[in-house]
A and B are shown apart, each in its own frame.
Chain A
Amino acid sequence: MKARILVVDDDEALAEMIGIVLRNDGFDPVFCADGGQALEIFRSSKPDLVLLDLMLPGIDGIEVCRLIRSESDVPIVMLTAKADTSDVVRGLESGADDYVPKPFKPAELVARVRARLRPGDQKAPETLRIADVTIDVAGHVVSRDSQRISLTPLEFDLLVALARKPWQVFTRELLLEQVWGYRHAADTRLVNVHVQRLRSKIERDPEAPEVVLTVRGVGYKAGS
């Protein structure tokens, strides 16, 4: 089955070009040129992934991202023209899983899309624990005191990666490789922002984390 991808971009030429590349690689693109209609089209087309331009007429890309995230866990990859820290971080904080800075290569775009669409491999029945948090890997459920905590697939993958090897300290680069699928080091801000988002959901006190610990100068590890 072809994965359906919603491309939200106001630049028609770019949207068409992205469509050509995606179709060439076996995806089924759906287009939306206006932020105001993005949510509507998202609901009607039920895409497997959203490619979202940050600067949009109507509603801002970041706002669209927040709206989509509020009702769905579907992977969102931002297309950014600005590589400035503030914009990227704002986009990631509003719920995007990854970003591709313009100008990008077709192969790069496709790789990012594929990485996000990659089905959870080897989802054997498996239960992991970090601190007082229980992770049911196959059921995609995270709970504390039998209370369910809702995570996006990316946050879930991040938590599982840490939980599988609680003895190991993960560098940001290693997490980028394992969770995001980057083969070479990319922007480690991705990791920072998502660890913060993850902490805000699963930690009792995000200021004093117990589940995802920071190892100064190295990276992160699972709490015990």
Chain B
Amino acid sequence: MVSATKQVPEPADGHPAPAQDSAAPALAPESAPPSSSAAQTALFRARIWGRRARIVNARVVRLVLTGATRLLPAVRYLLRALHRRWRRSLQFRTVLTTLMLAVGSFAVVGAYLSNQIADNLFQERLTQAESETRYNVKQVQDTFDGAQVTDQSSVITLVYDTLNAVEGRGSVIQRRYVFEAMPEQTKPRNRWVESRASDQLTISVIPTDLRKAVQDSGKDQFWASTQFPVGTEDRPGIAVGNKVTFNGTVYELYLIYDLNTAQKTLDEIQNVLLAGAAVLALMIGAIAWYVTRNVVSPVSHAAVVSEKLAAGQLQERMVVKGEDEVARLGASFNHMAASLQEQITQLATLSQMQQRFVSDVSHELRTPLTTVRMAAEVLYDARDEFDPINKRSAELLYHQVERFQSLLADLLEISRFDAGVAMLDAEPTDIVQLIGHVMEGVAPVAAEYGSDVTLNVPAGSIIVEMDDRRIDRILRNLVLNALEHGEGRPVNISVAANDTAVAVAVRDHGIGMTSAEAARVFDRFWRADPARARTTGGSGLGLSIATEDTKLHNGWLQAWGKKGSGSNFCLTLPLRQGETITRSPLQLEPADVGLGGGAGKQMMLLLDRDVAVPGPAAAGPNATAGLDRTEEQP
């Protein structure tokens, strides 16, 4: 009763492959004995075919390889695009994750369902098969028992008729049978009937485990899953076996039930499940897409709006609809934007007021100062007619008014930079000519200090897009500084240009400064030595203004110094406004330092773009941190 073996139906694939030989045409079977010429022809053909096969093989390999190389970048690109999408789009990520989870859970549920259904179908069929078998075996046994064994043909007819009746009535075969005599019987056997089976069936379709179980038992019934051929296909089935005795001979009788209809039903159910899962997955994907779009689109809208705000479009606001969380986000975002706008407008107003104030102070201070200055000068011009006390007073008045005036001018200039109202008035100008003017202008001062001012320049003219008034001011300031600290030694001005930038270096060989001092030299009102007498009366703002002027040009102003070796100031400007400087055509640290140099005439090495030292200057102005201070505008 109880099944001894149970095998789940499996598709047949263990059939011997008969078509294998045609693929190996190397030696034809007929090329064995007869004549040597026939053998040679066969060999020749075989060789040709072999070669052709190799050629075809090579071509196929090449085709596959080229296909792979062509397709690989496309596949890689697709993967990269997907990856980028995955990283950048929350919506894409959510939809994809939802889809994958849905498909996963469908797979689990579907597998369970189809398994359960298959099990039920099988069990039902098995129960039916077992009861039918029991009935049929009994019928057969009863018929055999009541049979009259007379002659061979009547026995054969009887057995066949009985067994055929088992197949069922009508055109549809309800069950198939295999009837086999038990081997190794000692009793006298009925040799007339050895074995018999339905169409196409042999004893080999019965699993050996089942046969063994049937053979070893008494009169018990056993079953097993099997496969049997019907027409050209193999069908799954259940084989139920028992023993029958005919005329003293024991036979094994197996009835085989077709599971094809059950299998078909199962297949259909699985197809329906699969289709349903696919449709559901698509719907879930669509729902996920819709829902996330609803949530994500306000967020990306907010991102767009905040980018616009950041770009200065302060009136930009989010669209607010409804009262949900998204609407609250929009409302608070708009609130933030409004207060931001208010603050910025306020700041702009303040800056305007500041600007206005500076302008007014400028006017109000300058007018009386002009009067004072003119009066002082009139007195100064007439000082020779005064007594010594009045004369000295007139001189002091005159010089201090001068100093006051330059201090005021510098202060106003700095405050104009601070208010952000300084404008660049750039146009193409020859910087070499401008340097010439500066040198002319400082000639009297140079003569006073006893210093020579020399110029190294590679070309007759270098056209630079610049505000000549500001560049003139910077260079004049640098040269005057160099003269002031040059202790009467020569001051060298060097000019060099590359494709994008021009550099002017002003080098003195005076007292010099430490690198710490060089780093502070552009600070406002900073002096290297506070105790140093303020003989030359600079305002202390000159280099700060030069820094601001350089910034306006998107240039660099760098300082280098060494105690006892003098100092070097290097101004680098882009040739065209709007371009950025990648490296200065001149090295900041002079090449003459450490060569035992004191004051020398030709100490400054000129570096043009071909010979430019790829040292710290090339690596960027910050590479010499500590030695210089970089002024650059992003």
Flag if B367 contacts A14 (CB, 8 Å): yes
Which B residues lie within 8 Å of A184 (CB)? Answer: 437, 440-441
Interface residues of B, dominant DSSP: helix
Interface positions of A from 163 to 217, Cβ below 8 Å from B: 171, 173, 184-185, 187-189, 216-217
Judged by a CB distance under 8 angstroms, whether A147 is at the interface is no
Distance in Å: Cβ of B449 to nearest Cβ of chain A: 20
Q: Is B215 an interface residue (CB 8 A)?
A: no
The yes or no answer to B369 lying at the interface (CB within 8 A) is: yes
In the docked arrangement, what's the CA distance between A105 and B372, Å? Answer: 10
Q: B75 at the A/B interface (Cβ < 8 Å)?
A: no
Rounded to whole angstroms, the CA-CA distance of A74 and B430 in the bound complex is 34
Cβ of B468 within 8 Å of any chain A Cβ, yes or no, is yes
- Verify A82–B428 contact, CB threshold 8 A: no
Residue of B at shortest CB range from A20? B378
Judging by beta carbons under 8 Å apart, are B437 and A173 in contact? Answer: yes
When the two chains form their complex, are residues A103 and B428 in contact, meaning their CB atoms are under 8 A apart?
no
Indicate if B219 sits at the interface (CB-CB under 8 A): no
Give 1 or 0 for each of B440-479: 1 = CB within 8 Å of chain A CB: 1100000000000000000001010000110010000000
CA–CA, A105 and B367, complex, Å: 12
> Do A102 and B423 have beta carbons less than 8 Å apart?
no
B441 to chain A, nearest CB (A): 6
List, sorted by A's number, 10 A–B pairs whose CB atoms are closer than 8 Å.
A11-B367, A14-B367, A20-B378, A24-B378, A102-B366, A103-B366, A105-B377, A173-B433, A188-B469, A217-B429
6 closest cross-chain pairs (CB), A and B = A217-B428, A81-B363, A103-B370, A217-B463, A102-B366, A81-B366
The complex places the Cα of A218 from the Cα of B432 at a distance, in Å, of 12
Question: For A189, what are the chain B residues with a Cβ–Cβ distance below 8 Å?
Answer: 425
**How far does the alpha carbon of A39 sit from the alpha carbon of B90 in the complex, in Å?**
74
Instruction: Tell yes or no: A17 within 8 A of B by CB.
Output: yes
Output the residue of A17, A104, A189 with the most chain B CB within 10 A.
A17
Does B481 sit at the interface, judged by CB under 8 A?
Answer: no
Chain B nearest Cβ from A186, distance in angstroms: 9
Contact of A11 among B371, B377, B429 (CB under 8 A): B371
User: Which of B370, B374, B472 has the most chain A CB atoms inside 10 A of its CB?
Assistant: B370
Contact between chains at B374 and A21 (CB < 8 Å)? yes
Measured CB to CB, the nearest residue on chain A to B441 is A184
> Which residues in A have their C-beta under 8 angstroms from that of B429?
217
Question: Within residues 1 to 41 of chain A, which ones have a CB less than 8 A from any CB in chain B?
Answer: 11, 13-14, 17-18, 20-21, 24
Compute how far the CA of A213 lies from the CA of B472 in the bound complex, rounded to whole angstroms. Answer: 25
A192 to B95, CA, bound (A): 65
Q: Which B residues lie at the A interface, using CB under 8 A?
A: 359, 362-363, 366-371, 373-375, 377-378, 405, 416, 421, 423, 425, 428-430, 433, 437, 440-441, 461, 463, 468-469, 472
Docked-complex contact B437 and A103, CB < 8 angstroms: no
Extra contacts besides A11-B367, A84-B421, A85-B425 (10): CB < 8 Å: A14-B368, A14-B370, A14-B371, A81-B366, A84-B359, A102-B367, A105-B373, A171-B433, A189-B425, A216-B463
Quick one: which of A67-85 are within 8 Å of B by CB? 81-82, 84-85
Q: B385 to nearest A CB, angstroms?
A: 14
A 93-135 binary contact with B (CB < 8 Å = 1; else 0):
0000000001111110100000000000000000000000000
Nearest CB on B from A2, distance (A): 19
Interface residues of A, Cβ cutoff 8 Å to B: 11, 13-14, 17-18, 20-21, 24, 55, 81-82, 84-85, 102-107, 109, 171, 173, 184-185, 187-189, 216-218
Known contacts A13-B368, A188-B468; is-contact A218 B430 (Cβ 8 Å):
yes
- CB pair A13 B362 closer than 8 Å: no
In the assembly, what is the distance between CA of A130 and CA of B377, in Å? 46
Give the A-B contact count at a CB cut-off of 8 A. Answer: 74
CB distance from A180 to the nearest CB of B (A): 15
Q: Are A21 and B378 in contact (CB under 8 A)?
A: yes
Contacts of A18 in B (CB 8 A): 374
User: Which residue of chain A has the shortest Cβ distance to B408 in the bound complex?
Assistant: A103
- Among A24, A103, A188: residue with most chain B CB under 10 A: A103
Query: In the assembled complex, which residues on chain B have CB atoms less than 8 Å from the CB atom of A13?
Result: 368, 371
Cα of A105 to Cα of B416 in the assembled complex, Å:
24
Contact A103 B423 (CB under 8 A): no
Task: Give complex CA distance A187, B472 in Å.
Answer: 11
| Known contacts A185-B437, A189-B425, A217-B430: A106-B362 contact under CB 8 Å | no
Q: Using Cβ atoms and an 8 Å threshold, which residues of chain A touch B375?
A: 17
Query: Residues of A contacting B366 with CB < 8 Å?
Result: 81, 102-103
Which residues of chain A come closer than 8 Å to B374, judged between CB atoms? 14, 17-18, 20-21, 104-106, 109
Closest CB in chain B relative to A88 CB, distance in Å: 11
For A217, what are the chain B residues with a Cβ–Cβ distance below 8 Å?
428-430, 461, 463
Chain A residues with Cβ under 8 A from B433's Cβ? Answer: 171, 173
Quick check: B373 and A103 within 8 Å, CB to CB? yes
Tell me, rounded to whole Å, the shortest Cβ–Cβ distance linking B177 to chain A. 111
Q: Which residues of A contact B405 (CB under 8 A)?
A: 103
**Of B366, B377, B416, B428, most A-chain CB atoms within 10 Å:** B366
Write the chain A residue with the least CB distance to B413: A83
Give Cα distance in the complex from A14 to B372, angstroms.
9
A82 vs B437: C-alpha distance when bound (angstroms): 25
Q: Which residue of A lies closest to B367 (CB)?
A: A11
> B389 CB to closest chain A CB, in angstroms?
23
CB contact under 8 A between A102 and B428, given known A24-B378, A188-B468: no
- Give chain A residues whose Cβ lies under 8 Å from the Cβ of B362: 81-82
Distance of A214 from chain B, by nearest CB (Å): 10
CA distance A109 to B428 in the complex (A): 31
Chain B contacts of A171 at CB under 8 A?
Answer: 433
Which residue of B367, B373, B468 has the most chain A CB atoms within 10 A of its CB atom? B367
Q: What separation, in Å, do the CA atoms of A216 and B576 have in the docked complex?
A: 13
**Centre residue among B368, B371, B429 by max chain A CB count within 10 A:** B371
Whole-angstrom CA separation of A184 from B472 in the bound complex: 12
CA distance A177 to B442 in the complex (A): 18
A200 CB to nearest chain B CB (Å): 19
Give A79's nearest chain B residue, CB to CB: B370
Residues of B within 8 A of A81 (CB): 362-363, 366-367
Min distance, Cβ A20 to any Cβ of chain B, angstroms: 7
A130, B433: Cα distance in complex, Å: 28
* Closest-CB distance, A135 to chain B (whole angstroms): 28
Nearest-neighbour CB distance to chain A for B503, whole angstroms, equals 19
* Nearest chain B residue, comparing its CB with the CB of A53: B367
- Closest residue on chain B to residue A85 by CB atoms: B425
Contact status A17-B371, CB under 8 Å: yes
> How far is A217 from B426 in the complex, measured between Cα atoms in Å?
11
